[in-house]
Amino acid sequence: MAMFQRLLRATESGAMPGPRRWLWKHWYNLMSRRWDDAAWGFMNYGYLPPEPLTLSPAEETDRPFIGLYHQAVAGLPVAGARVLEVGAGRGGGAAYVARHFAPAELVGVDLSADTVARAAALHAGQPGLRFQQGDAEALPFPDASFDIVLNIESSHCYGSMDRFVAEVARVLRPGGWFTWADMRSQAMLPSLEASLAHPSLALCASASLNAGVVAALDAAEARKGDAVNRQRLLRPLLREFAGMQGSLLYRGLRAGQVQYLARRLQRV
Ligand SMILES: C[S@@+](CC[C@H](N)C(=O)[O-])C[C@H]1O[C@@H](n2cnc3c(N)ncnc32)[C@H](O)[C@@H]1O
């Protein structure tokens, strides 16, 4: 486990961008092949907002994970918009946004082909929503083809945040929105700021989500424990990956050494 923690620190510090991309792609492919539970539509650490959020009874079990998506799009002009989610995972967040915010179309891309297949199967038949394989650092879309780009807890996996942000600026139409949330260690914040300071993107809003993310981790602890405890061999690794109580990430978020941030930027 000490080795796993050292590896996490090394990749997160910006070292080894190529191996980082490789590692995450294969990790998510592996997870999506093995983990066929239809109840898991999300793969984020979650966020419980301070203000009330009304959900349907069917959505209640995903409340901690939906919170991250809700805070990302609330107040943005999503109705009738062309929305791209980069790093859409198993598609639960994209499906939530499509259901509640009425975009004209929502395309979810993900580097992991197995994860895209899982998302497409889980959300088949939902109007205006589709998933395709694609790389955040070379988005398979023409210039100015989206009104909103959504990116939730995915960018820490990328080889180059600079290339990703340049791609977002390219595929957004002038006046379009980039809404982003993810975590970084304190040491990585200057490099993150530099990447987000793209000349074609104006910073409009910034928030720290730590308290709500820790609350979501606490709320999801029992549910994750049930799934993780079934995996005897992988249990310690999965506890770390899932951000369970006592994990490196959980302790870092509580102590503030890890910052979970949200940003909104507008294409100028
Ligand atoms: C922690 S999961 C979050 C998924 C989803 N946003 C959610 O909140 O449920 C990170 C996702 O980013 C995807 N990803 C990693 N690197 C990527 C890249 N270069 N381009 C697109 N997606 C990528 C992974 O395959 C994974 O599905």
The CATH number for 2-267, chosen from 3.40.50.300, 3.40.50.620, 3.40.50.150, 1.10.260.40, is 3.40.50.150
Please give the distance, rounded to the nearest whole angstrom, from the Cα atom of residue 158 to the centre of ligand 1.
9
Backbone φ, ψ for residue 124 (5° rounding): -60, 135
Among protein residues, the one with the nearest Cα to ligand 1's atom 13 is 87
Taking CA atoms, 236 is separated from 37, 135, 243, in Å, by 21, 30, 11
- CB of 136 shorter than 6 A to ligand 1: yes
Angle at CA of residue 256, ends 250 and 257, nearest 5°: 85
pLDDT of the residue at 20: 80
Q: Which atom in ligand 1 lies closest to the alpha carbon of residue 85?
A: 6
- CB of 62 shorter than 6 A to ligand 1: no
Tokens of 89: 């995972």
Q: From 34, 18, 150, 25, select the one nearest 94 (Cα to Cα).
A: 150
- CB of 135 shorter than 6 A to ligand 1: yes
Please give the distance, rounded to the nearest whole angstrom, from the Cα atom of residue 155 to the centre of ligand 1.
7
pLDDT of the residue at 5: 56
Which segments of the chain have a pLDDT < 50?
none
Cα 88 to Cα 39: distance, rounded to the nearest angstrom: 16
pLDDT of the residue at 3: 54
Q: Which of 110, 161, 162 to mutate to test the pocket of ligand 1 (most atoms within 8 A of CB)?
A: 110
- CB of 24 shorter than 6 A to ligand 1: yes
Cα 84 to Cα 67: distance, rounded to the nearest angstrom: 19
- CB of 111 shorter than 6 A to ligand 1: yes
Residue spans per domain, the chain? 2-267
- CB of 94 shorter than 6 A to ligand 1: no
Residue pair 261/208 in contact by the 8 Å Cβ criterion: yes
- CB of 149 shorter than 6 A to ligand 1: no
